Amino acid sequence: MAIRERLSGNEAIAVAMKQINPDVVAAFPITPSTEIPQYFSQFVSNGAVETEFVAVESEHSAMSACIGAQAAGGRTMTATSANGLALMWEMLYIASASRLPVTMACVNRSLSGPLNIHNDHSDSMGARDSGWIQLYSENNQEAYDNFIQAVRIGEHSDVVLPVMVCQDGFITSHAVENLELLEDEKVKAFVGEYKPEHYLLNSKNPIAVGPLDLPNYFFEHRRQQAQAMINSKNVILEVAKEFEKLTGRKYELFEKYKLDDAEIAIVIINSTAGTAKTVIDELRDKGIKAGLLKIRVFRPFPAEEIAEALKHIKALAVMDKAEGFSAVGGPLFNDIKAALYGVADGIKVVNYIYGLGGRDVKADNIEFVYNELQNILKTGQLGETYRYVGVRE
């Protein structure tokens, strides 16, 4: 019988960590993810877990210690946000290249500067090329569910890559919602034992990790790493199926909301999807065929599946909660357009940058976007594709 609870997104992650009972958690405080190591260290102090909690002196050391611990043969986790993730940057690439399935809770926050503690996706979007699998979560339930699945995905022998589970800072990390938790023993059985093929603390077969890798091997190693990311898509789906059997909650690469018969649609990540669903319901009541595609898996990027799901849409807005400074649109927009190219060329696609630095995203803002899509449909004029919503100009 599932456990009904009321938890914040941070607490939900900490509870998932407790149930997984990893060998090592190394973390450093940063708003808004700080509560995760706080809750977790209380579990350690109360003897609720057997984990070694390493209260490091920086996020760079957090990820370095995670790498050392995971390489040693321990299941390892951390949590961070924004500048903390940025300070880990160098080590993110080393974790993935060393094929160490560390699990991270990334509580999305705007990356300085200027300093801002509130939500947008500039932190994890910047890490999209670091070789980490990225799962995004609309609400506390999804954050909890994704975090448990992440362990299985990363450690799968076809993958062996680190995974970050993202959720919106404050909006879901600090908001308390009803959710269903699994029983401890079910989580334990689902994630299983961590059994790495090679690890430092194996006296029968000592290994060396982190070589100088020169031009005659480096390229092959990168190719293998890329293949692992390609492989992860199927593993993500397999793990989701197993998770659905256990919980009844269905996860895919992305969620479609009233998308199949929609004429206009938006693509969005994380909590704003909830706001968009309300707007869609209202538009549908007025007979407007609005729909939504909510990204769950951003890395690997499910380009083919997304193009298939969107190919019937007439006008599409891709919503980026991060500015990529490419001067032609945000990172999600670029990936979606590339996915559609040559597959669904007829779609009129625009980009909206929204909610940067925690700017409130209201139903009105989303409705505005759908209205603009209707205008595009009506006039057939695409206009400027790189747009902002909710900003004073």
* Residues engaged in binding another protein (CB under 8 A): 23-24, 26, 50-52, 54-58, 60-62, 64-74, 76, 90-91, 94, 98, 200-203, 206-214, 217
Give the C-alpha separation, 384 to 365, whole Å.
18
Q: Report in angstroms how near the CB of residue 205 gets to another protein at its nearest.
A: 9
Q: Report in angstroms how near the CB of residue 111 gets to another protein at its nearest.
A: 21
Q: Report in angstroms how near the CB of residue 222 gets to another protein at its nearest.
A: 13
Question: Which three-class secondary structure state does DSSP give residue 357?
Answer: helix
- Residue 51 tokens read as 């984990």
Give the C-alpha separation, 50 to 389, whole Å.
47
Q: Report in angstroms how near the CB of residue 78 gets to another protein at its nearest.
A: 10
| 211 versus 383: smaller Cβ distance to another protein | 211
Beta bridge partners of 181: 3
| 57 versus 384: smaller Cβ distance to another protein | 57
| 214 versus 327: smaller Cβ distance to another protein | 214
**Residue reference for tokens 């990027």:** 301
| 58 versus 326: smaller Cβ distance to another protein | 58
Give the C-alpha separation, 153 to 158, whole Å.
9
Give the C-alpha separation, 117 to 135, whole Å.
21
| 68 versus 329: smaller Cβ distance to another protein | 68
Q: How many CB atoms lie within 10 A of CB 94?
A: 18
Q: Report in angstroms how near the CB of residue 352 gets to another protein at its nearest.
A: 38
- Residue 242 tokens read as 């197993």
Q: Report in angstroms how near the CB of residue 70 gets to another protein at its nearest.
A: 8
Give the C-alpha separation, 286 to 298, whole Å.
32
| 76 versus 374: smaller Cβ distance to another protein | 76
Which is nearest to 164 in space by CA: 105, 94, 82? 105
